[in-house]
């Protein structure tokens, strides 16, 4: 028997959590090989959620209550994790909203994915078979879809369909490994931080479709302005892709600056100036990418490895130069020379950036 704990964070969920707990225990009675407990982590809800749980504990011996201060959803979860490590040390935890938005009918699907080898399973609203409430207003749908798209593109991790979902099954070894990272995120952005950590540490990620329902009673505690701000800040500080794009812009500055200096001020020949400025930009980009953009997978293994990687980097970079030269000349001959700058910008954003990001990840800064 493996231990499984469903964690339910609550703040004023008296009208929902009792029914949810009954449903979960009923549902998982049929589960084989798992010993189920439920941990409610309540932020001293003024509506009496805690008292309600204490009553239910008489009926369900494997229902636990942890009372914490009101410091946000992420903080409630990390406190629950510490509590579990000390008291139960489960094999698997499931994160779930306590407002009946997350249907317990999906629990067996999440668990099955774990049994089939996943470390981190997302209950996803945005894959085939999943959904958000059809009666949500347009602005709410828009926010949810855009939020997810922003994170997806921000990390350039397109295969994850639901970055912000709060319905997840996670093996406890991964929770312990991620703890030092996720404990810094007290609000809803905690969900994104955890998934980002799991991906960077090569956890096996699975997704199963869920139907997200409207909460039964009470109100949402999310503060959208604060949430969106934290998402942008998180992506900016943690996305290799964004850092890589910034390095690209800096590299362009280096390249342009040196060319300008050599051609316009020192009156050197164009070919030598271009050669020197391009190679300097390639070298400085390589160093910035290694120690900043891809710092979590820095090149290790001594000077030989470093030089081989640098040569590979030059090879990929010559590819970028070839794509640009060919693309810009082609478009210029087809559509007219006067818009060359537009062609260059388009080709860089649509082709060169994805191309080089893909090859750097594949051949130079490989996942560990």
Binding site for ligand GDD (CB under 6 A): 9-11, 13, 41-43, 70, 72-73, 76, 97-99, 101, 164, 166, 188, 191, 215, 220-222
Residues 51-90 as x/- pattern, contact with Mn ion by CB under 5 A: ----------------------------------------
Closest distance of CB 220 from Mn ion, Å = 5
Contact 347, 328 (CB under 8 A): yes
* CB neighbour list of residue 151: distance below 8 Å, 6 or more residues apart: 163, 164, 192, 231, 235
> Could you tell which of Mn ion, ligand GDD, none binds residue 162, using a CB distance below 5 to 8 A set by kind?
none
Any alpha helices (H) in the chain, and if so which ranges? Answer: 14-28, 49-59, 73-87, 107-115, 138-155, 172-182, 190-200, 224-238, 240-260, 270-288, 302-335, 340-347, 353-359
> Least CB distance from residue 17 to Mn ion, whole Å?
12
Q: How far apart are CA 368 and CA 359, in angstroms?
A: 16
For residue 67, the cross-strand partners are 42
**Interaction between residue 168 and Mn ion (CB under 5 A):** no
Output 75 or 215, the one with its CB closest to Mn ion. Answer: 215
- Residue closer to ligand GDD (CB basis): 72 or 327: 72
Residue range at the interface with Mn ion (CB under 5 A); choices 92-100, 133-141, 306-314, 322-330: 92-100
Q: Which of 70, 68, 92 is nearest to 80 (CA)?
A: 68
Centre a 10 Å sphere on the Cβ of residue 223 and count the other Cβ atoms it contains.
13
Give the three-state DSSP class for 207: strand
Whole-number minimum distance, CB 230 to ligand GDD, in Å?
A: 11
Beta bridge partners of 194: none
Assess 101 for contact with Mn ion (CB under 5 A): yes
> Residues 202-241: x/- map of binding to Mn ion (CB under 5 A)?
-------------x--------------------------
Query: Which partner, ligand GDD, Mn ion, none, binds residue 9 by CB below 5 to 8 Å per kind?
Result: ligand GDD
Q: Which is nearer to ligand GDD, 185 or 313 (CB)?
A: 185
Gap between the Cα atoms of 182 and 259, Å rounded: 45
Identity of the residue, 165 or 278, whose beta carbon is nearer to Mn ion in the bound complex: 165
Least gap, CB of 11 to ligand GDD (angstroms):
4
CA angle 4, 5, 8 (to 5 degrees): 150
Residue 102 DSSP symbol? S
What six digits make up the tokens of 208?
């199963």
**CA–CA separation, 202 and 205 (whole Å):** 8
The one among 13, 99, 162, 196 contacting Mn ion by CB under 5 A: 99
Contact positions with Mn ion (CB under 5 A) in 307-336: none
Q: Cα(first)–Cα(last) distance of the chain, in Å? A: 32
Nearer to ligand GDD, 170 or 328 (CB): 170
Number of residues near Mn ion (by CB under 5 A): 4
CB of 228 to Mn ion, least distance (A): 17
- State the nearest-atom distance from the C-beta of 339 to ligand GDD, in Å: 41
Distance of CA 56 to the CA centre of its chain: 36
Footprint on this chain of Mn ion (rule: CB under 5 A):
97, 99, 101, 215
């Amino acid at each position: 028997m493996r231990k499984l704990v469903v964690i339910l964070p609550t703040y004023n969920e008296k009208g929902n959590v009792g029914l949810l707990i009954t449903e979960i225990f009923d549902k998982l009675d049929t589960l084989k090989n798992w010993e189920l407990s439920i941990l409610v982590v309540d932020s001293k809800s003024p509506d009496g959620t805690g008292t309600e749980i204490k009553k239910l504990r008489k009926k369900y011996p494997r229902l636990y209550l942890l009372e914490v201060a009101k410091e946000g959803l992420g903080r409630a979860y990390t406190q629950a994790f510490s509590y579990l490590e000390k008291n139960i040390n489960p094999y698997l935890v499931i994160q779930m909203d306590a407002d009946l938005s997350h249907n317990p009918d999906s629990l067996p699907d999440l668990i099955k994915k774990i049994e089939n080898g996943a470390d981190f399973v997302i209950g996803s609203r945005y894959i085939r078979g999943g959904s958000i409430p059809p009666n949500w207003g347009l602005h709410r749908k828009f926010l949810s879809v855009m939020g997810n798209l922003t994170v997806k593109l921000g990390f350039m991790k397109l295969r994850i369909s639901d970055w912000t979902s709060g319905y997840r099954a996670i093996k406890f070894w991964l929770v312990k490994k991620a703890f030092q990272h996720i404990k810094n995120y007290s609000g809803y952005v905690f969900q994104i931080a955890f998934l980002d950590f799991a991906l960077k540490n090569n956890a096996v990620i699975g997704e199963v479709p869920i139907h997200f329902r409207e909460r039964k009673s009470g109100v949402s505690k999310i503060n959208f302005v604060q949430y969106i701000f934290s998402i942008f800040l998180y992506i900016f500080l943690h996305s290799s892709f964004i850092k890589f794009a910034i390095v690209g812009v800096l590299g362009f500055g280096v390249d342009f600056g040196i060319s300008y200096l050599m051609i316009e001020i020192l009156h050197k020949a164009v070919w030598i100036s271009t050669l020197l400025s391009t190679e300097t930009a390639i070298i400085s980009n390589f160093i910035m990418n290694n120690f900043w953009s891809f710092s979590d997978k820095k090149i290790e293994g001594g000077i030989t490895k470093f030089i081989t990687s640098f040569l590979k980097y030059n090879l990929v970079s010559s590819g970028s130069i070839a794509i640009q030269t060919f693309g810009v000349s082609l478009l210029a001959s087809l559509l007219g020379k006067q818009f060359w700058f537009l062609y260059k910008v388009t080709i860089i954003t649509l082709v060169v950036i994805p191309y080089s990001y893909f090859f750097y990840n594949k051949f130079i800064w490989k996942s560990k």
